[in-house]
Structure 1
């Protein structure tokens, strides 16, 4: 009877140890996968949100300046056309 009890206790210890080992391996595999994913993403040419917003703001300002310059050029061309048409008429 004593041998069966010892076998049961040893078997339970073995199963507990195996479960702990499997849990540790699972944890390590997850960490390794996360690290590989981070490295892969870092190798891509993604921009940060701050960089994206800065470029977006610069493009908006450039568009506004371009529109202002176009309006000014249109006004100058209209003034030149009126000035040129005035004396000839």
Structure 2
């Protein structure tokens, strides 16, 4: 049985090298695109989703605290008014 001709071995080596090169090129292209997207987002001065969620949570807590403070103030104003009139609470 004759050995495989060297031509096919060389062809397989070239094909393997081409696939390797294409894989490296794909990774490099991905890195370049990612870098450009990051630069564009930085130039637009956008915030990340995580930062927005944190600010939203802080604002929601502040709103709850404000509502509680307003309710307490209303009760205190009622007490002051009652004391000024001289009627018991």
TM-score by length of 2: 0.52
Runs of 5+ unmatched residues, structure 2: none
Runs of 5+ unmatched residues, structure 1: none
Matches within 5 A, 1:9-88: 9-42=9-42, 43-47=44-48, 49=50, 52-53=53-54, 56-57=57-58, 59-61=60-62, 63-77=64-78, 79-80=80-81, 83=85
Q: Which has the higher contact order (CA 8 A, sep 6+)?
A: 2
What is the CA deviation profile of residues 39-60 of structure 1, one whole-angstrom value per residue up to 9, with x for unaligned ones?
3444452156467436633652
Measured in 2, the distance between the counterparts of 1:11 and 1:51 equals: 55
* Count of aligned residue pairs for this structure pair: 82
Determine which structure has the larger helix proportion and give its number.
Answer: 1
Measured in 2, the distance between the counterparts of 1:41 and 1:23 equals: 27
Q: Cα RMSD (Å) of the superposition?
A: 3.7
Largest Rg, 1 or 2: 1
TM-score by length of 1: 0.52
Measured in 2, the distance between the counterparts of 1:72 and 1:9 equals: 88
